[in-house]
Structure formats: structure tokens, C-alpha cells
Amino acid sequence: MIIAESLTRRFGSTTALDGFDLDVPAGTVHGLLGPNGAGKTTAVRILTTLLRPDAGRARVAGHDVVREADRVRARIGLVGQQAAVDEQLTGRQNLEMFGRLHHLGAATARRRARDLLDRFDLAEAADRPAGKYSGGMRRRLDLAAGLLTDPVVLFLDEPTAGLDPRGRAEVWRTIRSLAADGTTVLLTTQYLEEADQLADALAVIDHGRVVAAGTSDELKGRLADDRLDVVVRDPERLGEAAALLARVGDGEPRVDPDRRLASVPVRDRVAALTEVARQLTTNGVEAEDIGVRRPTLDEVFLAITARSAA
């Protein structure tokens, strides 16, 4: 549904995109993850026809974003980093205006506006100016505006940036229900948890190119080892536990004295866990907690971006 091939875009001497490739199948939620300035927004702006690439090609919903920009525009919705609504108009007036500009008839635009206001839980606030809305409400209005024409592909550029946890949860719920209805979604975010929660597949972008792609689990398995954590009862013996982990594990152990925690990456989770438990007992080091866990997406992300910087 979204295909990008070797997209490149320079701004003066900075290269924002440098051979960016992406393939998003229909009906999936795809997360585009990367630090600030990695090129996420530039990629979205090219895919939504707002910006022309210097090189490379992209097709969205079957149409070329440069040569058939109008056809792409008729099939996409974009929700950008700020709520792109007119604050002096009411929620209803905003949706009716954007509906008319999408060339819906007056009656259809009114009906769509009413449906979307209901669906996004904005019916009560429909006739208040959008400027008086909370951040979460404004973002929902923005999302509603992006859905006026039932777009085939929806682009969400950091849709929860600057929202409080409640606003974020509201937006997440909306995105999930859209995905359930079969809309293809490309979501950019800096919040790893967001990508973990929402996306079927991820692409990590750094310095303008995709440096890793796959499902969240694949990336975790492929790019960072599982970790074995031991919490000791007696803080005095934390050093001993760490030394033991260094022998069993596949890397440098990390120690967190405040939590009495020693942690080490391991490849064979079962063997390592059995061995550590046995040795702790043999040496009489009492453990309060012991366990193997998957790396967090943060750890994966740091591992990937550290690699691509090297």
C-alpha cells in the first residue's frame, strides 16, 4: 500500500533522507521509529505529496506521489505533529469545512461531521470553538478531520507528541479501532512504547535510512539479547552475584545498587537461568528475585542506533 524506493532529499547541505526504502502491506499499522532529526517527518511529507524527493520513487495506494499527486491526495489522510484545525471555528464547523474542501456535498459533509463527532466522543463539545478544547480533544478532532473521506492510507506523524497520558490513551484507542477497520496506517513516533503497543511492524530510521525492520519481537530477538536479572537480598553480596553473572552470561553485567540488581545479556535463556540459580544456591547467595526478560524496545533502539552511528 505504501512503497518507497531509495527516497533521497537534501535541505542545503543536510541530507534528511538518504536512500529510504519502505514497504507497508495493506491493512497493517507500520511504525516508523527514530530519534529527532532522523528523517521521519521528511519521509512522511514526501509520501503525503507535501514535499518532492530529490531522487527515488514512492507509490501510495497505487499512485506515484510526484506524478499522480492528486490521486494520492484523494486517498490519504494526514495527521501531523500539531492539531491542524482552525481554533476559531467550532469542532463541527471545522469538520464541515474540511469536508466541503474534500468535495463532499453540503448534506454529506454535515452528516459525516456529525458521525465523526459522535465516534470521537466530541458530540458534546461540537459547537464550542476548537481553541477551547483540551490537547487530547483537539488531537481527536484532528484525527476526525483526517478521516472525513475514509482514507485508504492514514499517515500519523507523532500523533501523541505533547499529550498527557490520558490524551495519549485516547488517541491510541482510536488508532487501534481504525486498524481494526482495515485502514493502512503509517505512524511515526519517538515513543518506543507507542510503537510496541500499536504497530504490526516497525522500521527504525536513522540518518535518513532504514537501519532495521521487522516486528517488534523480531527486532528484540535479533538486535539485542535477552537479559537475566538477579535481585539479591543482601546488598553486600551484589558484587559476588555480578561476578557469577559475568561467568555465565554473554556480556558485561550491569549493576544497579539501589535496586540490588545485577543484570547480564544471555543467549540461551533456559541454560543460563538454570546455571545461575544453581550457582547462587551453591555459593549461598540469597536471591529475592531472578528472571529472564526480553529486552525493552529502548534497549533495542539504543543498540541499533549505536550500531548505525559507528
Closest CA to 218 of 249, 196, 186: 196
CB-based contact 309:241 (threshold 8 Å) = no
Q: Which of 3, 27, 35, 97 binds other proteins (CB under 8 A)?
A: 97
Q: Does 111 bind other proteins (CB under 8 A)?
A: no
Of 103, 222, 247, 307, the residue at the interface with other proteins (CB under 8 A) is 103
Return d(Cα 91, Cα 197) in angstroms, integer.
29
SS3 category, 294:
coil
Give least dist CB 97 to other proteins, A. 6
Q: Identify the H or E element spanning 190.
A: none
Sequence-distant (≥ 6) Cβ neighbours of residue 187 within 8 angstroms: 29, 30, 31, 32, 156, 159, 175, 194, 195, 198, 199
Contact (Cβ atoms closer than 8 angstroms) between residue 298 and residue 234:
no
Residue 70 engages other proteins in binding (rule: CB under 8 A): yes
At residue 7, the 3 state secondary structure works out as: strand
The answer to whether residue 82 forms part of the interface with other proteins (CB under 8 A) is yes
* CA–CA separation, 25 and 182 (whole Å): 11
Q: Which of these segments, 46-54, 199-207, 244-252, 269-277, binds other proteins (CB under 8 A)?
A: 46-54
The single residue among 22, 90, 136, 227 that binds other proteins, judged by CB under 8 A, is 90
Q: Is 116 one of the binding residues for other proteins (CB under 8 A)?
A: no
Among 4, 7, 43, 49, binds other proteins (CB under 8 A): 49
Read off the amino acid at residue 304: I
Nearest-approach distance from CB 51 to other proteins, in angstroms? 6
Q: Looking at 14, 37, 62, 87, which residue binds other proteins (CB under 8 A)?
A: 87
Region from 74-82, 204-212, 214-222, 300-308 binding other proteins, contact rule CB under 8 A? 74-82
Is residue 55 close enough to count as binding other proteins by CB under 8 A? no
DSSP string, 104-161: --HHHHHHHHHHHHHHTT-TTTTTSBGGGS-HHHHHHHHHHHHTTT--SEEEEESTTT
Query: Using the rule CB under 8 A, is 51 a contact of other proteins?
Result: yes
* Binding flag, residue 183, other proteins (CB under 8 A): no
Q: What mask of x and - would describe binding to other proteins in positions 119 to 138, judged by CB under 8 A?
A: ----------x---------
Among 2, 39, 98, 227, binds other proteins (CB under 8 A): 98
Question: With contacts defined by CB under 8 A, how many residues of the chain interact with other proteins?
Answer: 32
* 3-42: contacts with other proteins (CB under 8 A): 11
223: closest CA among 296, 294, 304, 307?
Answer: 304
**If binding is defined by CB under 8 A, does position 100 make contact with other proteins?**
yes
Query: Binding segment for other proteins among 22-30, 48-56, 162-170, 285-293 (CB under 8 A)?
Result: 48-56
Task: Return all residues near 115 (Cβ < 8 A) that are at least 6 apart.
Answer: none
* Residue ranges in contact with other proteins by CB under 8 A: 11, 45, 48-51, 70, 73-74, 76-78, 80-90, 93, 97-98, 100-103, 129, 145
